[in-house]
Amino acid sequence: MAYLLRSLILLMVLAVLLTASLAHGYITMEFSHIQIAIPTFLYTIFAQAFVMFYFIGVSRLVNNIQMILKSENNLPELFENPPEDLTPYVKKVDRFVHEADLAKRQTIPWTMLMLILGMIAFLLGGAHDTNMVEKTTHSGVVYGFLAAMLIGFFRQWWFLGKAHLLLRKVKTLFDIPDGQM
């Protein structure tokens, strides 16, 4: 799943860079940057929603496992034959919870910033098109969006890899099949 999400956000960055290149006139196409910006921003919302819910889901899974281990209820959900001493499992899962929460805290704010700045830039683009705001206002917000997108892209890329490895560790520890969350 992490590889799919990495592909989605890479395609998002390429689409946004294509839109910015069209706006600056570096590239010419039969479509204007406005015509490309509409599907690009819709795709950005789609890709960022997927990434955000991936990190929320990984964190939720690990927190649920921690809750099962600490309450010692429903242990058959994790083990065929529950061990007597759960201490090593609890220690590992506590570390997993920290890693999952860290990944979520490090990526979701960038996702939200990207979406908010992108939405404002998109709306200001329409306002500029109808001569309600200056071009510099629209451009300034777009540059802010580009900066947030690039920083967020690299953070998401890094933490998608970390979350993927974390899921592998969790699934290995509890013998969870690959196709199951």
79: three-class secondary structure by DSSP: coil
Question: Does a structural domain hold residue 18?
Answer: no
Question: Does a structural domain hold residue 20?
Answer: no
Question: Does a structural domain hold residue 122?
Answer: yes
Higher model confidence: residue 178 or residue 34?
34
Structural domains in the chain (count): 1
Are the C-beta atoms of 124 and 37 separated by less than 8 Å? no
Q: What is the mean pLDDT of residues 92-109?
A: 94
pLDDT at 181 over 70: no
pLDDT at 123 over 70: yes
Given this model, what pLDDT does residue 48 score? Answer: 95
Q: What is the mean pLDDT of residues 91-110?
A: 94
Are the C-beta atoms of 160 and 54 separated by less than 8 Å? yes
Given this model, what pLDDT does residue 34 score? Answer: 86
Q: 69-79 pLDDT, tens per residue? A: 888 888 887 88
Q: What is the pTM of this model?
A: 0.86
- Distance (Å, rounded) from C-alpha 84 to C-alpha 40? 54
Q: 47-63 pLDDT, tens per residue? A: 999 999 999 999 999 99
Question: Does a structural domain hold residue 179?
Answer: no
Question: Does a structural domain hold residue 75?
Answer: yes
Question: Does a structural domain hold residue 31?
Answer: no
Question: In the chain, at which residue ranges do the beta strands (DSSP E only) sit?
Answer: none
- Distance (Å, rounded) from C-alpha 56 to C-alpha 51? 9
Q: Which domain holds residue 101?
A: 45-173
Question: Does a structural domain hold residue 140?
Answer: yes
Question: Does a structural domain hold residue 2?
Answer: no
Tokens of 5: 């999400």
Are the C-beta atoms of 106 and 156 separated by less than 8 Å? no
What's the Rg (C-alpha) of the chain?
Answer: 21
Q: Read off the pLDDT band of 91 (50, 70, 90).
A: very high
181: three-class secondary structure by DSSP: coil
